[in-house]
Structure 1
Amino acid sequence: MTMAQWLGERIAAFRFEDLPAEALRWARIGIIDTVGVTLAGASEPCARIAHAVASPSLGDALVFGRRERMKPSDAALVNGTAAHALDFDDCSNTLGGHPSAPILPALFALAECSHASGRELVAAYVAGFEAQARLAHAVNFHHYDKGWHPTATLGVFGACAAAARLMRLDAKQTATALSIAASFASGVKANFGTMTKPLHVGHASRNGLIAAQLAREGFTAGDEAFEHRQGFFNVYNGAGHYDADAAMRSWAEPLDIVEPGIAIKQYPCCGSTHPAIDAMLMLVAEHRLTPEQVERVISRTHPRRLQHTNRPHPQSALDAKFSVQYCVARALAQGRVVLSDFEDDAYADPDIQSVMRKVTAEPDPLADQQPDHFGAEVVVELRDGRRVSKRVARAAGRTSANPLPDARIEAKFLDCASHALGRDACERALAALWQVERMADVAAFTAQIEAGLKRD
């Protein structure tokens, strides 16, 4: 049995009724978080440009943040780009990227056009999440280190699997859809810090949906698109650098959305900077630190994370999201890191630039002793000669074992959604999403979102 066939059978057989309570809870949280960051990202330049290129497109799928509808694949492109525009969407240790943003824009577009229920949307979402996680077990972290962006290269399979499940494709059609998606996988880390990174997500969401639609109509694809000598595994990772058996060992035992679970971001920047931000904020709180007291800051993170976050001189707001020096400087200077820190030319603020010059980033010498690669240590040398430090094994909210309180999840949603919706509309949307499985028709929810948009 090929990888595509193995996945196809499990995706097609996936049922809402089989979801454990914890999986449903985490699905609600993933959907809440993704809808919120999509509404916040809808007005970002990358989302506006993607919309301009895709438009006009007549259809029934809502463009989040606009009173406009497009055909599902185009809505998936625009909303997927918006979902990742702020780099504030959820993360996954297994994926080494962002699991929900490639999946949910395609699903919402498809669900509202087919008048699917919330239960159907949830089941498809969890099935897509699990499918991309299984493939991640086969290829990471060599895949990530080589330079692929797993959010896109694996996310396209998540979007495809979810769309196939929502359209009720059978096992054979689903396998074909995944094989088609193997030729759509793309996204290189060289484009981190630019508009192309969120475009990766929109592209993956759209292409996963299209792959499923093509398979439904009888399109054909190779049976061994994953394991063929010129298939996904060998081309993207190379012989000896993947383990296909690892993908097939434990489907849904437990579901990846439950363990290790979704990482909900507290800060609107690259997740690789978050442990250092946490450490710096702890030091600020414990020692009442101010920039004036500080002579030097040393931020130590895993070398894998430092490769794309060692940016002492960010050149744009997007670039600043990947600068651990900038993020740590913000944490020291103001005791928080928020959306406005990455808007316009906030990164160029002279006072922050002055603090940044005190921050040095280097590899963590104890990286190999970490239980995973999401830890950090921050050392602060003070002008009075004291030296204080804090080590964080992983950022708060990074796994289901260390979740954020519901109140913080809700506060993040309301803050993000308020960029597009009025206050009452934000609260109504949040209440509806906490009960997403009770929606009789997802289209009614997107209509509610559209009606709640702020007036221009």
Structure 2
Amino acid sequence: MQALLERLAERLVDFRTMDMPELAVNTAVEAITDTVAVLLAGADEPGLQALIRATENCIAPGPAWCVARSRGVDILSAALINGMAAHALDFDDCSNSMGGHPSAPLLPALMALTDQSDVDGATFLRAYLAGFETETRLGRAANFEHYEKGWHPTATLGTFGAAASAAALLNLDARATARALAIAASMAAGIKANFGTDVKPFHVGQSARNGLLAALMAAEGLSANPDALEHPQGFFRVYNGEGRYDADRLLADWAVPLDIEEVGIAYKQHPCCASTHPAVDVALALRRDHGITPDQIVAVRSLTHPRRLRHTNRPDPKAGLEGKFSVQYALARALAEGVVRPDVFNDTEISRPEIRDLMARITAAPHPQADMASTEHFFAEVEIELTDGRLLRGEIDRPLGRDRDHPLPKGALRAKFMACTAPRLGEAGAAALDHALAGLPAAASCQKIFAALRTDTDNHQRKSTADA
């Protein structure tokens, strides 16, 4: 009997000749555009700069564009650094099936390979979709046990996704693709204990690099066990435990529809952990509808699903990055300012006395009616007690952007793109990149599509010269 990875690989190879549904292609372009934006916006984050310094003597000259670098680098270094940048702000897209962030591990690996050997846009999109379907199908098989055990699915499952995408772009046959995925099984890593630190986005850079390396090694004939998923000491049992996964879900109803069509992609409007977003959306609505100011607030009570609260119940975050995983801090910012901005997640802002005072009035608890077996775990209920005696209450089943039934406001993704890219590329450069990415499906050359990113390299070079 064929191993699971062999059967999966055959289906992934078939992707290269299938007609991709219009909805899948359009959503892929939308997700790639959003990921490019947050990748550029994450370029100056301290953790990313630490990675660049740490790897300075390991980076070789090469053809690949690398954010905030003034020269081309080798493709593995580009995947690592760009992958970390894409997740540095925790502003990148999410997948309900994967239980993580699908695009950030895929795009940096694909972009690096494209810099080495150009492809057309349709080929690029098919490779992205192959990786996306791999990640999300593995998520269906492994979650929620995988997530609740403490693995970071973006890092673990994302390594498989990056390997699948890279294998597609390298045009590996089914046997080599299965080897790439089996190699990825021994390179997948990332634990949730490091949420709230620089290691979390590093997970993503490592998954992009490792997935790319797995495909490159498979192309050269490196051997690996195609039973690496279902073996008694394989990925499923080692990472999840005996009886705590459903391998049949990996291939069941394959591509009918594609996961990117349904379940789809979640887009973020707040640059912090998605588990805080439901409560933040409720708080913003109450603030807007009732004109609440911080001095009116006596107490705030947030009720969310235990799965979401486990890593976000942080009433006293000590560092800026930890604030991204504190529902109390995110709510305080939302209630105080009516927005949660990227620039408030630093050590200075998180210590502001007025924010600390408001946080002290915010409590978070698991919702008493939460069902741990349910896939509906992105709801929230928020109560706000005011000085005039009023008790305001609001609830939401899912935050905006989480699925097609709860879209972001019209124009929000475009505004996010410009806000993330214009500071590095300028308004004209950002608009040119947006226009180029929109043309990805019909593009003859991906190198030309991503050429606008070279403006970031030019700007970095000029800044480095001016600072010298």
TM superposition score normalised by structure 1: 0.98
The structure 1 residue matched to 2:77, chosen from 65, 74, 77, is 74
Whole-Å Cα distance in 1 between the matches of residues 240 and 261 of structure 2? 27
Superposed displacement of residue 368, structure 1: 2.1
| 2:163 paired residue among 155, 160, 168 | 160
Of the three residues 313, 320, 325, the one matched with 2:323 is 320
Match for residue 443 of structure 2 among 439, 445, 452? 439
1:448 Cα shift?
2.2
The one-letter amino acid paired with 1:2 is A
Contact map agreement 1:379 1:390 (CA 8 A) in 2: yes
Query: Is 1:241 aligned to 2:244, yes or no?
Result: yes
Task: Report the residue type matching 2:100 in the other structure.
Answer: G
Contact 1:36–1:413, Cα closer than 8 Å, also in 2: yes
Compute the displacement of 1:435 (Å).
Answer: 1.6
Q: Is the 8 A contact 1:112 1:441 kept in 2?
A: no
- In structure 2, distance between residues paired with 1:406 and 1:413: 13
Is 2:348 aligned against 1:345? Answer: yes
The answer (yes or no) to whether the contact 1:290–1:332 under 8 Å persists in 2 is yes
Letter in 1 for 2:330: C
Give the AA of the match of 1:7: L
CA separation of 1:419/1:285 partners in 2, compared to 1, >3 Å: closer, same or farther?
A: same
- Check conservation: 1:117, 1:440, Cα contact below 8 A: yes
Whole-Å separation in 2 of the counterparts to 1:123 and 1:389: 45
Partner of 2:308: 305
440-449 or 222-231, which deviates more: 440-449
**Counterpart in the other structure of 1:22:** 23
Output the amino acid matched with 1:10: R
**Partner residue, 1:391:** 395
Deviation at 1:123, TM superposition (A): 0.6
Q: Which amino acid aligns with 1:358?
A: R
- What residue is the counterpart of 2:220 in the other structure? 217
How far residue 237 of structure 1 moved from its aligned partner, in angstroms, is 0.4
Shift of 1:64: 2.0
SS of residue paired to 2:238: helix
User: Retained in 2: the 8 A contact 1:260–1:401?
Assistant: no
Selected match of 1:136 from 139, 151, 159? 139
Question: Equivalent residue for 2:337?
Answer: 334
Q: Aligned to 2:299, what secondary structure does the other structure show?
A: strand
Whole-Å separation in 2 of the counterparts to 1:205 and 1:194:
19
Aligned partner (choices 101, 111, 115) of residue 112 of structure 1: 115
User: Which among 357, 369, 375 is matched to residue 366 of structure 1?
Assistant: 369
Task: Specify the alignment match of 1:407 in structure 2.
Answer: 411
Q: How far 1:445 sits from its partner (Å)? A: 3.0
Q: Tell me, which stretches of 5 or more residues in structure 1 are unaligned? A: none
Q: Does the 8 Å CA contact 1:258/1:400 hold for their aligned counterparts?
A: no
Q: Which moved more, 1:383-392 or 1:430-439?
A: 430-439
Moved more, 248-257 or 279-288: 248-257
Deviates most, 29-38 or 402-411: 402-411
Q: Distance in 1 between matches of 2:422 and 2:80?
A: 22
Aligned counterpart, 2:466: none
Residue aligning to 1:193: 196
207, 231, 234: which one aligns with 1:231? 234
**Runs of 5+ unmatched residues, structure 2:** 464-468
Change (3 A) 1:371 1:141: closer
CA separation in 1, counterparts of 2:452 and 2:37?
14
Q: Which residue of 1 aligns with 2:14?
A: 13
74-83 vs 348-357, greater mean Cα deviation: 348-357
Residues 259-316 of structure 1: CA deviation (Å, up to 9, x unaligned): 1111000000000000000000000011111111110000111111111001111111
1:272 equivalent to 2:275? Answer: yes
- CA apart distance, 1:366: 2.1
Mapped to 2, the partners of 1:113 and 1:16 lie a distance apart of 23
Q: Tell me, what secondary structure is at the counterpart of 2:233?
A: coil
Q: Distance in 2 between matches of 1:371 and 1:126?
A: 23
Q: Distance in 2 between matches of 1:115 and 1:405?
A: 36
Length, aligned pairs only: 456
- Aligned-partner residue type, residue 47 of structure 1: L
C-alpha deviations, 1:342-400, integer Å up to 9, x for none?
24521111111111111001111122297611111111011111111111101111012
Aligned twin of 1:425: 429
Paired with 1:36 and 1:348, the residues of 2 have a C-alpha distance of 28
1:61 to 61, 64, 75: 64
Q: CA deviation at 1:446?
A: 3.0
Shift of 1:256: 0.9
Identity over aligned pairs, percent? 50
Deviations 1:83-135 (A, max 9, x none): 00000000011011101001110011111211112111111001100011111
Distance 1:117 1:146 in 2: 40
| Whole-angstrom CA distance in 2 between matches of 1:82 and 1:269 | 15
Deviation per residue, 1:46-82 (Å, 9 max, x gap):
2112222333321111002333221111100000000
Q: Which amino acid aligns with 2:385?
A: E
Name the SS of the counterpart of 1:254 in structure 2: coil
Contact 2:61 2:71 in 1 (8 A): no
* Residue 40 of structure 1: how far off its partner (Å): 0.4
Is the 1:118–1:436 Cα contact (8 Å) retained in structure 2?
Answer: yes
Indicate the SS of the match to 1:60: strand
Equivalent AA in structure 1 for residue 181 of structure 2 = L
| Contact kept? 2:440, 2:449, Cα under 8 Å | no
Distance change (3 Å), C-alpha of 1:32 and 1:406:
farther
